[in-house]
Structure 1
Amino acid sequence: MQGPAAIVVPVQAESIKVVRDWVEDVLKKWGQDAYVAKVVVSELVTNVLRHTESTTATVRVVQADKGTVVEVLDSCGVLPVAGAPDLLSEGGRGLAMLGALVKEWGAQPVGGGGKVVWALLPDVVTENAGLGRRREGRGGGRPGVPSPAGPPSRVSGGRSPSVR
């Protein structure tokens, strides 16, 4: 199993390409396909940009018991809510798309403020199209992800949520 990899980026539009390229490099080194991970990380960092006032975001890629997990941590404590998008709206479909691409996803508050939004990647790009399940952020842990030994960035409010 590979150790976790992390990058801290400023919350700005240019960072979306930076994290996409970074996650692709990490997963290539680990011998994994990066297509879904690039879409996931793009969506999650875009959500930080559009819906929070965070100045930095931390992206982590972790090998967990159930598979590879992509996490995005920010300093906003408001958890994302997947709703039914307005048919005429340009936005509001990202979390539905995320759920269609991954095995599971969820969000949890981080001690001291902020949150982590995570996604368990499929083993194969086409494995679970349309079958992603959201795990509620309060009480449910990330799927077998070890808590980081220490915060990888300035975006920290304490220890990451506990996992089972």
Structure 2
Amino acid sequence: MHTKKTYTVQEATRKLERYCAYQERCHKEVRQKLVSMHMIPEAIDVIIVHLLEHNYLNETRFAKTFVRGKFRMKAWGRRRLTFELKQKDISKVNINQALAEIDNAEYIEVFNGLAEKKANTMTETSTLKKKRKLIDYLLYRGWESHLVYEKTKELFG
């Protein structure tokens, strides 16, 4: 018979300290991890408070790190970043603070680079198909529609 591992509050706390120290986490991820460890709600609350008090868990820092990483590595636009953070139950205040850290000039530079790179690698012969593909690609990545349509017009007329 397979017995499920049980943790004392101390063991779970240490485990979650390592979990949070390894990479920034949001409250939702930490709560899910504790639930998967079969911790009772009271213990979960105690552990989360401990992690907050000892700065292992910081939602503002998480949001900023998340935005920086996804913007730099995946070239996500503000709409996708906002959507993904909302999925993680990050507050509007923290989302806005994190997005404010993206330099506008860099934002436009990344957008233009991404759009031009994609446009140059498309094999479609039909201009209409190229436009549609580029628009879908950029919107999926969360770039604002006014930027997407202006750029598509600039590239394909």
TM range (shorter): under 0.3
Q: Normalization by structure 1: what TM-score?
A: 0.20
Q: Which has the higher helix share?
A: 2
More strand, by proportion: 1
Larger Rg: 2
Q: TM-score, normalised by structure 2?
A: 0.20
